[in-house]
Amino acid sequence: MPPSVTYTQQPWAETYSEIIDVRSPSEFAEDHIPGAINLPVLNDAERAEVGTIYKQVCPFTARKIGAALVSRNIYQHLSQHFAAKDKDYRPLIYCWRGGQRSGSMALVLAQIGWRVTVLEGGYKTYRAYVRQQLEHLPEKFTYQILCGLTGSGKTYILGKMRQRGAQVLDLESLANHRGSLLGEEWQGTLLPQPSQKYFESLLLEQLQKFNPHQPVWIESESTKIGQVYLPQSLWEKMKQASCVEIQLPIAARVQFLLQEYPHLTTYPEILKRKLEKLKSRCGWEKLSRWYQLIDAGNWETLVQDILDSYYDPTYSRSIKRYFSQSQRLLFLQNLSDSSIDRLLDSLLPNCVALK
């Protein structure tokens, strides 16, 4: 006799062969359990079609058409994704509310003989869990804030810290944004940020990996990174944390920024459009000067002037307002490996580099 479908409201307490989100691609894109795969039983167009028929024609007709579409899509998944799964395969399945979509997939897989678990309440159960956890979990950690003017290599240094075994919360990586006007990530084209909900899912996943008995290193950020916001509980703890401030000569900062943002010199029109947003703060005369430097390819002078005129004053005001508890001030001549190693020897004397 095939095993029956089991239900859970705490999937994070178990381990599964795979987590399957059977919602439509757009629902999955907005947010999902990290690590889940998307095997929709109805795609976006099909879901809209069934919904329209349900409201405008007849619920019974909508259910018949929906059942046919779901059956066809499950067949496709069985013949492709599930074809190579062995008898010990044990998936967790969820949809929006743990109803018909997840139940349809679970019933078929259970009839084959797999041990299938359905998330009771579906995505809504998971989302409520994320919100509840982010209200309290950030308060369990002690944070160390790494401060420094733009171009000081804070994110780069945090990466070196992680290699030494330190606990690092890289918010900019989770947000897919470097937290400034020019901070959008680029890989051949500008990369989108995650939705607010998925950012929170990724943040929770990272926090749950940390040991509360060890400090968590984090870069000085504002409460908003690009278009996503930090949970209030995390932001309050960050403002209370002690800071280590990195100071780097401006020439070294300029060179580092040119290495980190090559797309802005490769695509100067994008840079001009972004700088135009500073017109109200810096004035048309300054903006015209920057445009001239861009046209002339005088990148070092341009970057230094932008730092002097906008970034440094803005960052200094923010640090004084939010991260005033600076305990250590450390000077670097450059961001070479040897300079950073000496810095980390003093900051992380007990951490051993990870192999």
Give catalytic residues, as residue numbers: 95
β-strands 117-119, 228-229 pairing: unpaired
Please, are residues 90 and 114 in contact by the beta-carbon 8 Å criterion?
A: yes
Burial 32-62 (b: 16+ CB within 10 A, else e): bbeebeebbbbeeebbebbeebbeeeeeeeb
- Greatest alpha-carbon span in the chain: 80
What is each CA distance from 193 to 24, 131, 156, 218, 283, in whole angstroms?
Answer: 20, 20, 20, 20, 29
What SS3 state is found at 273? helix
Cα distance between residue 353 and residue 161, in whole Å: 9
Q: For 350, which DSSP code? A: T
